[in-house]
Structures are given as structure tokens and as C-alpha cells.
Amino acid sequence: MAPKLAISLALFISVSIALQIGADAAGIAIYWGQNGNEGTLEETCATGNYDYVNIAFLPTFGNGQTPMINLAGHCDPYTNGCTGLSSDIKSCQAKGVKVILSIGGGAGSYYLTSKEDARQVATYLWNNFLGGTSSSRPLGDAVLDGIDFDIEGGTNLHWDDLAAFLSAYSKKGKKVYLTAAPQCPFPDAWVGEALKTGLFDYVWVQFYNNPPCQYSADLSDLESAWKQWVSDIPATKIFLAIKGSSKYGGVMLWSKYYDDQTHYSASIKNHL
């Protein structure tokens, strides 16, 4: 997920394709959790710049592994040190910010071996981060708004099953939002099949670190990739973060730390 330090500000931007049933206005999504110098989660939401905050990451799960979050320098999950984030999460949600757990990431140990494995992971996520119950919730008793699939390794199998099992939990009351961060080459090598299910509410396509379709001064490659995404992803509404597009939906930024350095979200917030 993380960009190379040498790339320009523009390449920190992922065009957001928000596949949604509702009619939410354009907004900004941010990833938080992978740099101890990016401020707290509560401070992130207090800026007023973000509509969605993806807590990154849960990089270990599946194949019978004990799931484990990794929030870099923010807290130590091995000593239950991340449960204090519960008040931050609730503060964000009180401001109207959706707080989502991002699973996967650019480095980690995660893959699903079967449909049953997917079901077990979904059960774990529901009980430990969403509306279920568990005696060992890593982030405390706060109920997150959904799960983000930032799948960049492992295998491309059973992510559609995981999405289906998670989506089914919406029937228990509070909606479980599903989001994803595929690479812009189409179809995505990891979650391409899962995205065809139409179960995802927001898809933040990574239009950076991908020369065939990444953001650059010449938008032709990006526009071509966008048309391919639109034509093959089922959704009631599709938003793309390109100025002038009638389906413009917002942007996703990696990450809060880099945004602190550039102040990019503040500069574009009033133009979305």
C-alpha cells in the first residue's frame, strides 16, 4: 500500500470509486495506523477533513492463524494496549466519520484456504471488531462500521466468500460496510472476483505505484483504466475522483502521516 518516498504528492492519491447504494456526497478516505508520528485517531477525525478512516492493518489471519492487528507505534496489541482506541473510535463516529478496519496490507501473513476458513475469519471479525461479542476485543468495545479489503498478497481465493459472510451480518442490525483497495490494473489480481459480487460499498482503486494506469500529467491511461472498472463492476452508483466527471465521488489518501506533511486533504476538502 505505501508509496515510495520519492514520488510526488499526486501519487499519494488513490482515485476513489465509491460503489454505493446511498447518495452520500463526495468525501475523503484516509488510512491511519502505520506511523506513530501521525497523531491519534481522535485527532485525525477532529481535523474535519475525513469522511472515512481505515484503521491499518490486521495483517495476520486465515489458515488457522491467530489474527493479530499491527498499528505500528500507536499501541501494543500483545498487551491489550490497543483497547484504549475504543474512545477514539466512538469520538470519530460521533462526528459522522465511518471507521473501518483494513485487513491485509502490503506485508503480512494472510490467506484463506477454503470457504469454511472464510466463514471462520468473518465470525472472528464480527465478534471482535463489529457487532458481535468477545472477551478479547483488540480495540475495545467500540463497534466499527465495516471491513476494508487491502489484499496485496497470499492468494486470490475465497475473498468473495469472506465478503458474503460479512455482508450477511448486516441483517443483524447495523450495516456492515465493505470496502476494498485494489490496484488499478484491471482486473485486480487479488480481489477482482470478489468485487464482481456487488457486495462492496466503496472501492478505493490505487492509481499510484502502477505505471500502466497510475495518475500522471497525461490522464489517458487513468481514464482508460477507469472505463474498464466502470464497465465490469456492478453497482447502483459509481463515483470516480476525477474533476469534471459526473460520477465524481471522492479520493482516498495514503496515509495520515503523509497528509500531515502535505496538508493535501485540507487543500481539496472544500472542492469535493
pLDDT greater at residue 184 or residue 15: 184
Grid cell, residue 38, equals 501521525
Per residue in 95-112, pLDDT (tens digit) is 999 999 999 999 999 999
CB 147 within 8 A of CB 172: no
Please write the tens of the pLDDT for every residue from 65-106.
Answer: 999 999 999 999 999 999 999 999 999 999 999 999 999 999
| pLDDT, position 240 | 47
Strands 202-204 and 13-17: antiparallel
Sign of torsion over alpha carbons 202, 178, 85, 74: negative
Which residue among 38, 42, 116, 152 is the active-site one?
152
Task: Note the pLDDT tens digit of each residue in 251-270.
Answer: 777 889 888 988 878 887 77
Query: For the chain, where are the E strands, in sequence order?
Result: 13-17, 27-32, 52-58, 60-61, 98-105, 109-110, 146-151, 177-180, 202-204, 250-253
Does the structure show a pLDDT above 90 at 232? no
pLDDT score recorded for residue 110:
97
Over residues 141-180, the pLDDT tens digits come to 999 999 999 999 999 999 999 999 999 999 998 999 999 9
Check: CB of residue 232 under 8 Å from CB of residue 207. no
Q: Phi and psi for 252 in degrees, rounded to 5? A: -115, 140
Q: Does the active-site annotation cover 116?
A: no
β-partners of residue 156 are none
pTM above 0.85, yes or no: yes
Give the Cα separation of 90 and 96 in Å (integer).
Answer: 10
pLDDT band at residue 14, thresholds of 50, 70 and 90? low
pLDDT tops 50 at residue 6 = no
